[in-house]
Structure 1
Amino acid sequence: MLKFANQPHAPSWYAATVNDTTRHPVLEGTLAADVCVIGAGLTGVSAALNLAERGYSVALVDASKVGWAASGRNGGQLIGGFACDIDTFSQFMSAAEVKQVWDMGIETLDIVKSRVAKHRIDCGLTEGYFTAANKPRDVDALRRWRDEAATRFGYDRFQYVDADGVGRYAQSARYPGGLFDPDSGHLHPLNYTLGLARAATEAGVRIFEDSCVTRVRSERGMNVVETERGSVRARFVVLACNTWLGALAPDVSRKIMPVGTYVVATEPLGAQRMADLMPAQAAVCDSRFVLDYFRPAPDSRLLWGGKVSYSTLEPRDLAQAMRRDMLKTFPQLADVRIDYAWGGFVDITMNRAPHFGRVSPTVYFAQGFSGHGVNTTGLAGLLIAEAIDGQAARFDLFGKIHHRDFPGGATLRTPALVLAMAWYRLKDLL
């Protein structure tokens, strides 16, 4: 892991509206635990909480703060299922197993909602998610997907929306139709992560911040997790570092690529103007490969995300670049200023399927959420806890997926991906 000690959360609207300022100590000295979880984002906090509820003693160690990276910066969109096409799983699994994965994709939503309710997490959880078609051909594809979900998986919750109905979700002439999912939605991701961390500490998890892990080694049948000022001896280790995994497990980190994604928050629009702009108050994304996504905030701001950067370079004059994109959908917001602009890295796999597995029999990892981290991390934490507790069938199902290294090695893989994404951007325009 890289060193981010003593760095505050990104200067985002999320950080400005955080409702828990709890700080955790630096790891000093040597301690013992059943499990050491490395990384205090949504994956790590979820795994720690699930393990503690099963009676395991857990130490959770992070190089910076709880929710410092993608878990506290993302667009806050809670999207059922996985980032990849469902038939990605069909390449490696039977039809019955694919149905099981589908069911777990829906379960991801229930996990988040039940955690919010059980632990009374104040994170503005709102149900409703709309996928907006950019072109007529996308309308047809969304209709087909609605029908396939119903006939193949028995999921009949998707609602097709024609051009006349789009205004309920976005008052924009840009979209010729779309698909509404009443079960997905949106939330404040940093407050959600911090709420899970509070629940974890209440369950007995010991959390350590500003404690960069320098090495994980094996010693007399135990794992030793070392930081600059301390160490944890544990039977099991969970690597929940995502794009910051680096040298801790290089063979695993080569399966993912960091991708920059960015969000802006407008000034408050006022309750009525926001209600007029997005009457259903649902989260929205468009149907392009390189997409825009947006949603209303509880204080009547519009949160607009996009400008995905496969080069990892932040767009020049980020706030204004994002504002120009926003005005393509909502020209009526030309008088509105941008109050916050921020970004961060999400991790993607080559096939966009999540990557769960083991480095050794006692070292687990989960990564590669590819933009679906708000929901899928909850499932990852649960499955890791199940596996450590001796019920590994569901976790090992994801191990059937073959994940390739990104080509080009450390030097060339980012330029190679930039070239590939240029092709997808062109396809979006055609």
Structure 2
Amino acid sequence: MLDLLNANDQPGQYPAESYYTATADFLPQQPALKGETRADICIIGAGYTGLSAALHLRERGYDVVVLEAQRIGFGASGRNGGQVGSGQRLGQDVLEKQLGQDAARAMWDIAQEAKATLKSLINKHKIACDLTPGVLHAAFGKADLAHAHAEAEHLATRYDYSQITPLDAEGIRAHLGTDAYCGGNIDMGAAHLHPLNYALGLGRAALAAGVRIHERSRVMRIDQGEPASVHTDAGQVRARFVVVAGNGYLGGLVPQISARVMPINNFIVATEPLGDLADEIIKQNIAVADSKFVVNYYRLSADKRMLWGGGESYGYRFPRNLADKARKPMLKVFPQLSGARIDYAWGGTLAITTRRMPAFQRISGNILSVGGYSGSGVAMATQAGKLIAEAIAGQAERFDLMASFPLPSFPGGRLMRWPILVLAMTWFSLRDRF
């Protein structure tokens, strides 16, 4: 398998083709780890999970070291669609059937708090990341629409969540300049933001709080024990606890994680600034995700570009025609963008699980991990950092609740799991088309 840390990117550099890179408020590069050091906590990965955990642990008085193989926010945290969704990745009706009403309610409360945690960090640390309310879930077919409206009613009656408004075809056309959808829901309790600037803001806050962050410090080995030892090619951290927060970029570092967390790629394009056309296409500054299995997700940037994500690729290297992967589904929904120039096109590696819920895991008594957010990680990864801090401090109930959701390993082991996933994704993508 390819080394995903370097397969599609220049070592130590943010993707030059990304609109987020072009508009980022960068931090100075942090020094690589050299030699041996000690800490209460060693965190692997400087994305949302790792940085949130670092901040929450520092608030509790722990000495924290973060090791990042590339740069702060380099991975999925700095490349995603920027949507801050409501609820867990699976619907509440599914969670109720799987876990019972009480556990499902507790998971809903964790997800709701995730949005509040994100907003609190942005406000407390004055992170400029264009946080804006509103996410519209658009339905292509009548079955999708019926499910969306039933979910909105379920959340209103069972969970007192009244910020979702169901939309019919006329209602959705009041928000979007397209006839592609037959309706949907708009959730004004959800939001969207500039994902890389949010990650960089968390990094800036962590450094100000006294967290030691070492970039260009790839972890090669973890030796379990008390203390555990985390080894890079040039140094070592001995720590009471280790947090593994590398998501899709861990490779085979921890087999218990790679069995349940699978990396996949996704792609985003940014058009040229659209001027008045932007307001005709998206009539209110909201983000959109549709009902395709391979989801199309999009929104306008602060300078009125269309940021469109989607398209599948069944290889770990990004395709050469990367812009076309996202452009084709964009033009099916908004043919009026056929003349719009594509200024940026980039890919990123996220991670999924077999059942699309995040994988909260105790690798051993003092090694914890969370990853596999399956496309819904902006708020939940931030919250995961908070739950990790709680667990390390001895309040593990909420971490353990999330860890209790049954997540089977991917079939086929390390060698065959990818071909099996390709077959499954091909079937779902064909279902989307036909």
Aligned counterparts, 1:143-222, within 5 A: 143-218=149-224, 221-222=226-227
Q: How far apart, CA to CA, are the structure 1 residues paired with 2:134 and 2:53? A: 27
Contact kept, 8 Å, 2:48 with 2:382, in 1: the verdict is yes
1:418 is matched with: 422
Q: How far apart, CA to CA, are the structure 2 residues paired with 1:188 and 1:142? A: 27
2:109 is matched with: 103
1:278 is matched with: 282
1:258 is matched with: 263
1:294 is matched with: 298
Q: Residue 253 of structure 1: CA displacement? A: 1.1
Contact kept, 8 Å, 2:267 with 2:325, in 1: the verdict is no
- Tell whether 2:21 aligns with 1:34: no
- Tell whether 2:404 aligns with 1:400: yes
* Worse-matched range after superposition: 406-415 or 42-51: 406-415
Q: 1:83 to 1:310 in 2, by over 3 A?
A: farther
Contact kept, 8 Å, 1:93 with 1:400, in 2: the verdict is no
1:26 alignment partner, SS class: coil
Aligned counterparts, 1:372-391, within 5 A: 372-391=376-395
Q: Residue 3 of structure 1: CA displacement? A: 5.8
Percent of residue pairs identical: 44
Deviations 1:282-314 (A, max 9, x none): 000111211211100001111000003344353
RMSD: 1.6
Contact kept, 8 Å, 1:2 with 1:63, in 2: the verdict is no
Contact kept, 8 Å, 1:407 with 1:416, in 2: the verdict is yes
Q: Residue 92 of structure 1: CA displacement? A: 5.2
Counterpart residue identity of residue 9, structure 1: Y
Aligned counterparts, 1:311-390, within 5 A: 311-390=315-394
Q: How far apart, CA to CA, are the structure 2 residues paired with 1:372 and 1:214? A: 28
Contact kept, 8 Å, 1:168 with 1:280, in 2: the verdict is no
Q: 1:245 to 1:87 in 2, by over 3 A?
A: farther
Q: How far apart, CA to CA, are the structure 2 residues paired with 1:2 and 1:322? A: 21
Contact kept, 8 Å, 1:33 with 1:57, in 2: the verdict is yes
Contact kept, 8 Å, 1:216 with 1:224, in 2: the verdict is yes
Q: How far apart, CA to CA, are the structure 2 residues paired with 1:360 and 1:160? A: 45
Q: How far apart, CA to CA, are the structure 2 residues paired with 1:86 and 1:355? A: 18
Contact kept, 8 Å, 2:43 with 2:244, in 1: the verdict is yes
2:56 alignment partner, SS class: helix
* Worse-matched range after superposition: 326-335 or 86-95: 86-95
2:26 is matched with: 20
Q: Residue 273 of structure 1: CA displacement? A: 2.4
Contact kept, 8 Å, 2:359 with 2:407, in 1: the verdict is yes
Q: How far apart, CA to CA, are the structure 1 residues paired with 2:228 and 2:406? A: 27
Task: List gaps (5 residues or longer) in structure 2.
Answer: none
- Tell whether 2:276 aligns with 1:268: no
Q: How far apart, CA to CA, are the structure 1 residues paired with 2:152 and 2:91? A: 14
Deviations 1:38-75 (A, max 9, x none): 01111111111110111100000011101111111111
Q: How far apart, CA to CA, are the structure 1 residues paired with 2:354 and 2:93? A: 15
Q: Aligned to 2:64, which of 41, 49, 58?
A: 58
Q: How far apart, CA to CA, are the structure 1 residues paired with 2:61 and 2:207? A: 13
* Worse-matched range after superposition: 163-172 or 60-69: 163-172
TM-score by length of 2: 0.95
Q: Residue 6 of structure 1: CA displacement? A: 4.0
Q: Residue 339 of structure 1: CA displacement? A: 0.3
Counterpart residue identity of residue 304, structure 2: S
- Tell whether 2:288 aligns with 1:245: no
Q: Residue 386 of structure 1: CA displacement? A: 0.4
Q: How far apart, CA to CA, are the structure 2 residues paired with 1:137 and 1:88? A: 17
Counterpart residue identity of residue 245, structure 2: A
Contact kept, 8 Å, 1:126 with 1:186, in 2: the verdict is yes
1:319 alignment partner, SS class: helix
Q: How far apart, CA to CA, are the structure 2 residues paired with 1:119 and 1:67? A: 17
Q: Aligned to 1:429, which of 424, 429, 433?
A: 433
Contact kept, 8 Å, 1:260 with 1:312, in 2: the verdict is yes
Contact kept, 8 Å, 1:2 with 1:212, in 2: the verdict is no
Q: How far apart, CA to CA, are the structure 1 residues paired with 2:5 and 2:340? A: 37
Contact kept, 8 Å, 2:4 with 2:316, in 1: the verdict is no
2:124 is matched with: 118
Q: How far apart, CA to CA, are the structure 1 residues paired with 2:334 and 2:414? A: 40
Q: 1:348 to 1:138 in 2, by over 3 A?
A: same
